[in-house]
Amino acid sequence: MTTLSAENIDSVDAEMSDTVLEDKSEGFFELVLSEGRPMDDLVMDEGQLASTVQKLLLLSVFGLGFYGVVVGLAAQTSTLGTWFTAGTPTLWMPLAFSGAFLAAIGICLPSFYFYTQLAGLDASFRLITAQSLRVQARTSVVLLGVLPFYTALALGIGVGFDLGLGANGVVLVGMWLPFAVGLVGIAALYRSFKRLVERLPITHERRGNIMLRLVLCWGAVFSTVAPVALWRLGEFLGTVI
């Protein structure tokens, strides 16, 4: 008869935890879309955090890039004559969307970390990175869900079914749609922080709804940086591609 020591029990618990996390990783797309505690477990697990960040990054790039292709196709027929119709938008717009939004996250990360610490949450920089990419990945997934409707709108305009937007209006909608859909990601960020506050060390107590103020600060900083990044990067790519 085998006797289980405390070390063996801890080893079994660790193996079971790893198995659960691996099972969760298999449905990563569904995890990002559904949100909830399973996703919290992934971003809180230091052993899985690097892999989780990579998956969130790839999902963000895929969603933004695919969306950029469709908006670029719509921009090809536009007569606006602005920076987002220059060059060959179908080729450079996927790079602009994915590059600008991810660059904006990189620029904002120190501010995200500062605001989180100011709110009294002792979160590591890696966790803040995962949280920000988590929001972007969710936004990218929702964009993929909205994309068929946007495509139908663009095709309808192309065959003469005008809703008062015209080809130029469709492009403008496409440029601003990621920011509107981003509100879904902000709401998910608030809910996730409300859950994580029960698991993260608290450095100092803060009064009021500090989580709401924290998320609003995140959103305000990102909403300031991302449009400028998209404009400058898109303007540059439009001259070379």
Please answer whether residues 139 and 181 qualify as being in contact, where contact means their C-beta atoms are separated by less than 8 angstroms: yes
Q: Which two tokens stand for residue 156?
A: 């309808």
CB contact set of 236 (below 8 Å; sequence gap of 6+): none
Segment 110-124 mean pLDDT: 88
Better-predicted residue by pLDDT, 166 or 148: 148
d(CA 72, CA 88): 8
The sign of the CA dihedral 225, 231, 234, 237 is negative
Exposed/middle/buried for 193, CB within 10 Å: 0-12, 13-18, 19+? buried
User: Cβ–Cβ contacts within 10 Å for residue 126, how many?
Assistant: 14
Residue with tokens 């230091």: 46
pLDDT score, position 8? 45
Q: How far apart are the first and last CA of the chain?
A: 71
Domain boundaries, the chain: 60-240
Number of alpha helices (DSSP H) and beta strands (DSSP E) in the chain: 8, 0
Please answer whether residues 98 and 67 qualify as being in contact, where contact means their C-beta atoms are separated by less than 8 angstroms: no
Q: Does 205 score more than 90 pLDDT?
A: no
Q: Which two tokens stand for residue 133?
A: 């990419």
The type of residue at 79 is T
Segment 118-137 mean pLDDT: 88
Q: Does 200 score more than 60 pLDDT?
A: yes
Please answer whether residues 24 and 31 qualify as being in contact, where contact means their C-beta atoms are separated by less than 8 angstroms: yes
Q: How confident is the model at residue 4 (pLDDT cuts 50, 70, 90)?
A: very low
Long-range contacts of 17-23 (CB under 8 A, 24+ apart): 17/45, 18/47, 21/45, 21/48
d(CA 75, CA 82): 10
- Please state the pTM of the whole predicted model: 0.79
Beta bridge partners of 121: 202
55-69, 163-177, 209-223 — which is least confidently predicted? 163-177
Instruction: Give the CA distances from residue 142 to residues 33, 138, 166, 188, in Å, rounded to whole numbers and listed in that order.
Output: 8, 6, 25, 12
d(CA 56, CA 77): 33
Helix, coil or strand: residue 35: coil
pLDDT score, position 99? 93
